[in-house]
Chains A and B, each alone.
Chain A
Amino acid sequence: MIRSKLLTSAIRTLRNIGSRFTERIWRMGAGARLFGLIVVSSGECLRRPRLVVREVYFTGVMSLIIILVSAFFVGMVLGLQGYNTLQTYGSSEAIGVLVALSLVRELGPVITALLFAGRAGTAITAEIGLMKATEQLSAMEMMAVSPIARVLAPRFWAGVIAMPILAALFCMVGVLGGYLVAVPLIGVDAGAFWSQMQASVDWQHDILNGMFKSVVFGVACTIIAIFEGYDAPPTAEGVSRATTRTVVTSSLVVLGLDFILTSFMINI
């Protein structure tokens, strides 16, 4: 009797795991289909660029403060920590190289994407989820207006446009933060700081690759936020869960994608 109870509970656990796994696969497929639909129906955005501009304002311009302030602090911390280590080897002038390379290659695109997912991604999910819960999306469909072309596509393109701009600003402000710590505060020579940086940061292999990364992260973060919102159950709880999932999924996807992209870019 006891044995059969154990057996049924084991089977139930296994079934749960399996159903969760298939659920994930199903959602991935649905997300990919939505991505395709958005790309196909983005002609509306070209005809009415004002729609995209409005969304760039909400996703990009409104994220400026958090991005710039965190970039400044990240740059300053990098400067302090880098100096602490480099000083041991008597090469504290290389601090500029350290700050610039770590920002441009990794931290700029990745931290921007994580902050973007928290600041703008959640807003997109909550907005679309609530539009769906209050049946605004169905109303649009009733009036023969495609919600994908009118609501989803402008938000998608706005995210893709805003992310590289934010990442470039993050890198630049971070380098300025590192400069502020290294040169006036610690007393590293300003000429050596900039010239060593310029000697080892490559325009194509470092800066353009970093920008490419941030475009990819922009596509990933925005599509996840839009899909979670569009797919959310039309209840208060469903929208809140979808918002949480946006942050968790985007963060994981960004870090995983970063590894894949970096391994392509660095030829060992």
Chain B
Amino acid sequence: MERSTIDLWVGIFVALGVAALLGLAMKVGNLTTSNIGATYTVTANFENIGGLKPRAPVKSAGVVVGRVSEIKFDATTFEAVVSLSVDKRYVFPKDTFASIFTAGLLGEQYIGLEAGGDDAKLQNGDKIIKTQDAVVLEKMISQFLYNKAAETPKAPETSGSTSSVVDALGANPLDNTTVNTTINTLDNKGKTDIAQPVAP
């Protein structure tokens, strides 16, 4: 078969394309790092999964050991059923604790596994009993405000709920005399600390 320079150029073109695809897969994508081989599936029930998504990482001690494969809703218990695909190389005890964490303040949510001390191991299809739900920021804030409002003994009765919360936050539990005594105590302690001779 007769060869021409066109063939050579097209060959180079195709080779470049394959190289670019390989580069994308290896250098840009996570084909090498996320290559979780054989997995086993365990499920865990949560009352609230927050913003957990399928394909979210499953980490133990900060290392990715698997992925969330499926999230379903159980209509009888009204809980979320999360299926986790965990790498076969990592075997966890039966009493492993599964909790939903957030990476950073606004980051993605992932499942953290904390190994327990049981001798029996988690098998394919098992269920993790001990779980902890995702932290919902709004719930935490409202709980904090309620606690704060309950702490203040003489919160003045007001009509609007917003103003009562503001009052509760504004009321300073430390009055002036307490503050002064505390400052004095600290001051004296500092003086005695400095006055003590330093051992040579």
**A binding-site residues for B, Cβ under 8 Å:** 53-54, 56-57, 60-61, 64, 100, 104, 162, 164-166, 168-169, 171-173, 175, 194, 197-203, 205-207, 211
Residue of B nearest to A60 (CB): B13
Interface of A is mostly: helix
Number of A-B contacts (CB under 8 A): 79
Q: Does chain A have a CB within 8 A of B31?
A: yes
Nearest CB to that of A164 among chain B residues? B17
CA distance A61 to B16 in the complex (A): 10
**7 smallest A-B Cβ distances: which pairs?**
A165-B17, A172-B20, A168-B20, A203-B31, A203-B29, A57-B6, A168-B21
Q: Is B30 within 8 A of A61, CB to CB? A: no
Per-position binary interface string of chain B over residues 47-72, scored 1 when its CB falls under 8 Å from any chain A CB and 0 otherwise: 00000000100000000000000000
CA separation between A200 and B24, bound complex, in Å?
13
- Please tell me if the beta carbons of B30 and A203 are within 8 angstroms of each other in the complex: yes
- Which A residues touch B24, using CB under 8 A? 104, 168, 171-172, 175, 207
What residue of chain A has the Cβ atom nearest to residue B21's Cβ?
A168
B189 to chain A, nearest CB (A): 39
| B21 and A202 form a contact (CB under 8 A) | no
- Bound-state CA distance A172–B33 (Å) is 19
Q: Which of B12, B20, B25, B55 contacts A203 (CB 8 A)?
A: B25
Interface size on B, residues (CB 8 A): 23
Residue B27 lies at the interface, judged by CB distance under 8 Å to chain A: yes
Which residues of the other chain, A, contact B23 by a CB distance below 8 angstroms?
Answer: 172
With A168-B20, A198-B33 as contacts: A64 and B13 at CB distance below 8 Å: yes
Q: Judge if B9 is at the interface, Cβ distance under 8 Å.
A: yes
**Are A56 and B13 in contact, CB atoms less than 8 angstroms apart?**
yes
Residues from chain B with Cβ under 8 Å of A164 in the complex: 17
B138 beta carbon closer than 8 Å to chain A? no
Knowing that A56-B13, A171-B24 touch, tell me 14 more A-B residue pairs with CB under 8 angstroms: A57-B9, A57-B10, A61-B12, A100-B28, A165-B20, A171-B20, A171-B28, A173-B20, A175-B24, A199-B30, A202-B34, A202-B55, A203-B25, A205-B55
Among residues of A, the one whose C-beta sits closest to the C-beta of B31 is A203
A54, A61, A175, A201: the one contacting B13 at CB < 8 Å is: A61
Show 22 residue pairs from A and B whose CB-CB distance is below 8 angstroms, ordered by the A residue: A53-B7, A54-B6, A57-B6, A61-B10, A104-B28, A165-B13, A165-B17, A165-B20, A166-B17, A168-B20, A169-B16, A169-B20, A171-B28, A172-B20, A172-B24, A175-B27, A198-B32, A200-B30, A203-B29, A205-B55, A207-B25, A207-B28
Q: Is B174 close to A, CB under 8 A?
A: no
Answer yes or no: B199 CB below 8 A from chain A CBs.
no
A contact residues around B198 at 8 Å (CB): none
Q: How far apart are B39's CB and chain A's nearest CB, in angstroms?
A: 16
Name which residue of chain B comes closest to A91, CB basis: B104
Q: Please, which residue of chain B has its CB at the minimum distance from the CB of A100?
A: B28
- B29 touching A56, Cβ below 8 Å: no
From B14, B16, B20, B30, A198 is in contact (CB under 8 Å) with: B30
- Closest A residue to B64 by CB, please name it: A199
Known: A61-B9, A201-B30. A165 touches B25 (CB 8 A): no
CB distance B21 to A211 under 8 Å?
yes
Residue numbers in A under 8 Å from B6 (CB-CB): 53-54, 57
Kindly report which residue of chain B lies nearest to residue A57, judged by CB atoms.
B6
Task: Choose among A57, A168, A198, A202 the residue that contacts B17 (Cβ–Cβ < 8 A).
Answer: A168
Kindly supply a per-residue 1/0 record for chain B positions 117-152, scoring 1 wherever the CB is within 8 Å of any chain A CB and 0 otherwise.
000000000000000000000000000000000000
Query: B20: which A residues are within 8 A, CB to CB?
Result: 165, 168-169, 171-173
Q: How distant is the Cα of A39 from the Cα of B34 in the complex, in angstroms?
A: 39
Q: B21–A197 contact, CB under 8 A?
A: no
Contact across chains for B10 and A53 when beta carbons are under 8 A apart: yes
A203 to B28, CA, bound (A): 9
